[in-house]
Amino acid sequence: MLTLAYTMACACVAGALLASTGAAGPLYPPAPPPYHTLVADGVPQAVIVLPQEASRIERFAAAELQGYVAKISAAELPIVAEGAVTRGYRMFVGNTRALRSSKLRLNADNAGRDGFALLSNAHRLIIAGRGDLGTLFGVYELLERHLGVRWFMPGEIGEVVPEARTIRIGTLRDIVKPAFDTRWVGTGEWSLKQRMNCHVSVEGEDVSVNWLWHFHTFRILIPPEEYYDEHPEWFPLVDGKRKKSDRENSHSTQLCTSNPEVVRKLAEGMIAQLDEDPSIEIITLSPNDGGGFCECENCVALDEPERDWFARYSRRLAMLNAEVTRLVGEKHPDVLVKVGAYAMYARPPLDEGWRPPDNTLVQLCHIYFCHNHPVATGECREGETYEVDDNFQPNQEFRRVLEQWRELTDHLYIYEYYALGGFQRAGLPWPLIHTMRHDIPFYRDMGVRGFYTQLSANSWYRLGLNFYVAAKLAWNPDLDVDALLDDYFEKFYGPAAEPMRAYFMTLEKAYTDYNGCISYGLKRAEAIASDIFTPAVMQELEQHVNAARQAADTDVIKQRVAMAEQTLAETKESVAAAK
């Protein structure tokens, strides 16, 4: 049993980090009465009703609802087709006649792309999305918000299902619209349950936004192994020679983007993909990663030489993007061409009156800017939190760049880095609740329409809380983050909740106490590891992990605590190696 002194110490650590937000209320306040019984003392009191011609996703949604109610109560609710004679409370899932006969009308304004409604009365509950995926999201919302199920991380270790012989729901009057049209935090089953809509599938069939290619596509559209020998002039002139990439995935080697044949070839390649699959909604056009840009006279003439590193190639790529996008739009006007605003082309060009074509989607990357301070709070201070560096800008500048792009396009997406590579490669934790709790609502308020963060699949044990909070805020940025954390620690760690909260809050506080700007382009993780993970911090982390290990009372809680133990062991090794 934890001592009172230890519990008070944990509360002090958390309070130091979260004081600005006030006391947390319940994460999901209960729905008001009257209440409707689904299961009474293990006996089904409700049926799940599907349309007579239910779709595959609607059937899957009904099976998910049935399965989790059974996990909670051991009672299996029948699934029937609409029109069958039934007794008990009816739960209508999907595009049923009950939905169509109701006054409910879901549209882009009230439900977005894949929002939904949960509407109940004394006799029935309607769970319906604007589309089938929204219906499935409505089931997951019901399970999470009203029945207490949680999916904290992928796999059985991340699932928490309460036990209750009786299940009742309150009276629901919810129409839910996600904050971002496109939400991409992780992939697979966990992401689906978090209501993400990129790289998710149902029973092996993709149900995502149809988005072809993620980012760097020059190498995909004009692969050097296929075209260099016949067309060396399509590739960059570097140090007086046309260069063929000698690196995996053609990184750090680009194309000669002023060459009209290259422009035409890029457009033809994209059009061919869209002709083959007319359901594609977004297709990506973007340079390969890294440098290696063409130095020929025609390419250089398109640049703005007086601008900084963050606009070195902005204008030449803006000209390329506009022409390719125009050609694609002539054949496929409803498709968005996604281009990157990244690193050496993060800023828009300066040409007066310039705007990207309307069928352009711009994804602005929050890299080489500060990651340790919130974007909108103005906490990056020259000479105090950072020194001037050509490859770094404070977040005040990132905000200005975001505002500039927002004025130029209605299709602005964000690319975040909540698994920052430098710290990941160095084997160090990278706690970011103190920034994302501000940044994701800020992005929403700025009119950003799509949110993505890098997620390292092999680092859930180290960065899982980042990924969980990012997914919850990508769906609903108005969630009370303090309540979200309370819920996470209580349900994921059980009797080890308090020491595990103290462990994570100590990590967050170590970074806020350090207070320096951190970025890909500014400081290496190894160079600042000992400044963040001081002996006092390491001692405190070890104290909390030891207390959590002692408090863990089941195998699954011990496995969850063991992830923190592994992280702490790796942190010790990394800090020692950096000295």
pLDDT band at 424 (very low <50, low <70, confident <90, very high): confident
Whole-number Å distance between alpha carbons of 67 and 161: 11
**CA–CA separation, 306 vs 545, rounded Å?**
53
Residues 327 and 451 both lie in one domain: yes
For the cut 60, the answer to whether the pLDDT of residue 346 exceeds it is yes
Picking from 465, 480, 495, the residue at the C-terminal end of a domain is 480
What's the pLDDT at 119? 96
- Examine residue 534 and state whether it is found in any structural domain, yes or no: no
Residues 215 and 168 in one domain: no
**How many CB atoms are closer than 10 A to CB 208?**
18
pLDDT bucket at 287, cuts 50 / 70 / 90:
very high
Q: Are 241 and 390 in a shared domain?
A: yes
196 has pLDDT over 60: yes
Look at residue 133 and tell me whether its pLDDT is greater than 50: yes
Residue 391 lies in a domain: yes
Same-domain pairing of 347 and 448: yes
Domain count, the chain: 2
CA distance 65 to 166: 15
Instruction: Work out the percent of the chain whose per-residue pLDDT is above 70.
Output: 96
Cα(557)–Cα(542) distance, rounded to whole angstroms? Answer: 18
Q: What is the CATH number of the domain that holds 443?
A: 3.20.20
Same domain, 130 and 60: yes
Q: Is the pLDDT of residue 10 over 70?
A: no
DSSP code per residue over 270-335: HHHHHHH-TT--EEEE-PPSS-----SHHHHTTS-TTS-GGGTTHHHHHHHHHHHHHHHHHH-TT-
Residue 6 covered by a domain: no
In a domain, 335, yes or no: yes
Residue 472 CA to residue 468 CA, distance in Å, equals 6
Asked whether the predicted pLDDT for residue 326 surpasses 60, the reply is yes
Kindly state the average pLDDT of the residues 556-571. Answer: 97
pLDDT greater than 70 at residue 6? no
Q: Is 335 left (phi over 0), alpha (psi -120 to 50) or beta?
A: beta
- 307 with 393, same domain: the answer is yes
In a domain, 486, yes or no: no
Residue 91 lies in a domain: yes
pLDDT digits over 525-535, tens only?
A: 888 999 999 99
Q: Of the candidates 462, 480, 498, which is a domain's last residue?
A: 480
The alpha-helical segments, DSSP class H, found in 102-131 are: 108-111
Strand partners, 124: 90
Question: Is there a domain that residue 492 lies in?
Answer: no
Q: Are 263 and 257 in contact (CB under 8 A)?
A: yes
- Looking at residue 115, the DSSP 8-state letter turns out to be -
Q: For residues 68 and 101, what is the distance between their CA atoms, to the nearest angstrom?
A: 28
Average pLDDT, the chain: 93
Give percent above pLDDT 90 in the chain: 89
Residue 469 predicted with pLDDT over 60: yes
Q: Are residues 166 and 239 in the same domain?
A: no
Give the CATH number of the domain where residue 36 resides: 3.30.379.10
350 and 460 share a domain?
yes
- The neighbouring-strand residues paired with 4 are none
Between residues 482 and 9, the one the model is more confident about: 482
Write down the pTM of the prediction: 0.94
Looking at the fold, whether 70 and 117 belong to one and the same domain comes out as yes
pLDDT score of 522 more than 90: no
Q: 390 is in which domain, residue-wise?
A: 211-480
Band (pLDDT 50/70/90 cuts) for residue 8 is very low
- Domain boundary among the residues 441, 456, 480 is at 480
In a domain, 504, yes or no: no
Q: Is 220 exposed, middle or buried (0-12, 13-18, 19+ CB in 10 A)?
A: middle
* pLDDT tops 90 at residue 13: no
Question: Do both 115 and 230 map to the same domain?
Answer: no
Count of beta carbons in the 10 Å neighbourhood of residue 42: 12
Q: Is the pLDDT of residue 16 over 50?
A: no
Domain co-membership, 294 together with 227: yes
Query: Are 118 and 69 contained in the same domain?
Result: yes
The pLDDT tens digits for 366-404 are 999 999 999 999 999 999 999 999 999 999 999 999 999
User: Letter for the amino acid at 447?
Assistant: G
